[in-house]
Amino acid sequence: MLLAKNSVWKISNSDLAADGYYRVIDVMQNVESVFLFYLDNESREVRPFAVSLGMFKEGYKAKQITEADYNLPPFLSIAEEYIPTEHIIRRDKNYRLITPLINDREFLFDYATKKRTTKLAKYALSADINKRSLCRLLTNYWRYGQNISACLPAFSNSGGIGKAKKSTDKPLGAPKQPRTIVTDHVKLIH
């Protein structure tokens, strides 16, 4: 069994983790741990978690863990020359933001094994980015293959494409507000 970083595995009928597909984020031999990221959850923020390397190998031998494929969304399969310049700029900016964290194995260990880590909050403050936005960037990076393309914005998923819109008699959006405020004092003047 070759347990490579970024490989995808299917776990079923195991006490190790819930049934589903998982991406290997990292393998740390010094602590005998495999760091997995759950791919079946479409939540915006999912944290990786650590499992024992020995238990992972036992699950593989028992055929509870098998190597699998994971299809990436279509917006990640576009050739570089067809990606709009604005998206490339945003992708590169997002990747630069998370690079110090994804290259820090100590951060990954803390983030995966502890409920709270101060390193993420301190970095978010120093980088002048919202902590939740930073978590979403990390989640997308781990979910979509741990490469720079994983940081592409998913604008193609916006707007409810392919869904029928129901027309209503009620206008959409916020109600119109009067531009001037008429108070009792103004009424007395006129």
Q: Tens-of-pLDDT digits for all 190 residues of the chain?
A: 778 898 999 999 988 888 999 999 999 999 999 999 999 877 667 899 999 999 999 999 999 999 999 888 888 888 888 888 998 999 999 999 999 999 999 999 999 999 888 899 999 999 999 999 999 999 999 999 899 988 888 765 555 666 776 777 777 778 777 677 777 777 777 6
Domain boundaries, the chain: 8-68, 74-155
* SS3 labels along the chain: CCCCCCCEEEECCCCCCCCEEEEEEEEEHHHCEEEEEECCCCCCCCCCEEEEHHHHHHHHHCCCEEEECCCCCHHHCCCHHHCCHHHHHHHHHHHHHHHHHHCCHHHHHHHHHCCCCHHHHHHHHHHCCCHHHHHHHHHHHHHCCCCHHHHCCCHHHCCCCCCCCCCCCCCCCCCCCCCCCCCHHHHHHC
